Structures are given as structure tokens and as C-alpha cells.
Amino acid sequence: MKVTIRSQEVFVSTGGREFDPKQNVLMFIHGSGQSHLSFMLQGRFFANRGWAVVVADMPAHGLSKGAALTTIEDMADWHAELMDELGVISANIIGHSQGGLIALELARRHADKVKGLSQVATALAIPVNDMLLSMAENKEAAAIAAMTDWGHGVDGHMHEHTMPGQNHMNYGKQLMAANESGALFADLSACANYTDGPKAAAAVTCACQCILGQKDKMTPMKAGLQMAQALNVDDPTIVVGAGHMMPSERPFEVNKALRAFFEV
């Protein structure tokens, strides 16, 4: 469906089901250079099991219009505005990668809107290599290729996509290339400039979950475990052999963990 936020058209995937804000809401927040397609296998799964699903393309991503947002804090506020537009009083939030930083800020800045928080393949900080930033600004296709390579674990490189007929590497490149030029650089810059993760985590009061990839090269498991400790998560879920792009690479494990957490 399409809604208007800040005078710009925004695309929101609802997992293929009619959206009802009175149901229990799961809101997924995508990572750098990603879109609603990153959560295709989560949106459909939960929408068909009684949840109201929200997976929005941020501005300049996927099917959404407007200029890319430039700070994690503004991205958090934007998602709060989206919730208001949709009539969602509060939701369970799932953040992947950069989306995890946004989810942290959303929980800190708009605590009344966040019932529960699941952090997938993310950390309290996501520093970005200067070379990758330069590539994203000047040679975007090269940055996309590099991130698709680093982002997937061995399974993602070796096996067919978890959606029949797809391929992890090609799917990842096509997904990122579909965004507006400059969106990836804006995202990576926002991650590089964000330093308030520890403060945000300390302010979070809702129940939290962390799902971490054992072979994650982009937000290493060590950083994820530090985040789990900061969020008082005693039993983070470790997906053995998984890389950074877990929602598509290892959807069965991710969906199982999310379902167990949010249905308690």
C-alpha cells in the first residue's frame, strides 16, 4: 500500500494481507541500501499467521519517493510518523543492520510506540570503512557488489536463494540497484556518524531479542554480543554459519526465533 509521509509517497508492504492496525503489529526496518524486499520471507510468514505487518521502503529506497534521510535519529522519527499515519499505537519492532540502529533510536525517542524489540545482525555502532564510503559515493555499483559479497555467508555464496528461482548474490545486487542513486551513500554515512548506540540501549525499557550471524562480516558476532549485553539479553540467538543477510539467507531460523520471542 502507499501512504504519504512528509509530503512524499511511501510504499509499505503488508505481507500480501490487508493491514489492520488493531491487530498485533510487527514493523520491520531495513538496512543500508535495502528495501522491503529484504524482509519478503518474514512479511509473508507473519502476515499469514495473524500479525499486521509493516515493511516500509524508506525515502529513495525501493518504491518510495523523496530524498534519502541522512541521520539515524531522523530515520527513527520518520518511522514514528509512519506509525501515526497508519494508526498504529504501538508495535513490535524488528531492525536489521542499519535498521537495528534506527530501532534503538525509535525505542529511545518514542518508547511508548515500541512494545518489543528484535535486533537482527546489528550492533550498537556500525563503523564504515572509508574506502566503502568512497565507493558508495563515486562507484555505487562497485559498493553494491562488495556489500553483496561481504554480506552473505558461505551458504549465500554457494546455494540457491531461499525463494525458488532466485540467487542470493544476483538478488542482492538487483535489490540494491533498484534504489535511487545516492541512497546507499546516505545510509552508510548515517551509520558511520551514529555514536549514540550505548546511550540508546541504556534507555530501552521494553523486552529485547538479539539474532546474530556466526559468520557475519559486516556486524561481527562479537559486536552483536556486546549489544545483547547492553540490552540485557541473556540468551541471544546465534545462527550457526549465517552471514549478515540473515532474513533472506536463513529465513527459517530467523522466523522461528522471531515467532518464539513475540508470541511469548
Cα–Cα distance measured from residue 251 to residue 155, given in angstroms and rounded to the nearest whole number: 12
205-252 pLDDT, tens digit each: 999 999 999 999 999 999 999 999 999 999 999 999 998 989 988 999
| Fold of the 2-262 domain | Rossmann fold (3.40.50)
Grid cell of 216 as nine digits:
557475519
pLDDT at 163: 57
pLDDT at 50: 94
Cα–Cα distance measured from residue 224 to residue 2, given in angstroms and rounded to the nearest whole number: 34
Contacts of 98 (CB under 8 A, 6+ apart): 30, 31, 32, 72, 122, 126, 187, 190, 191
Cα–Cα distance measured from residue 104 to residue 92, given in angstroms and rounded to the nearest whole number: 12
pLDDT at 145: 84
pLDDT at 139: 94
Cα–Cα distance measured from residue 191 to residue 134, given in angstroms and rounded to the nearest whole number: 14
H helices of the chain, where?
Answer: 40-47, 72-86, 98-109, 130-138, 140-151, 154-158, 168-177, 183-193, 197-203, 221-230, 246-249, 251-262
Using 50 as the pLDDT threshold, list the residues of the chain that sit under it.
Answer: none
pLDDT at 174: 78
pTM: 0.94
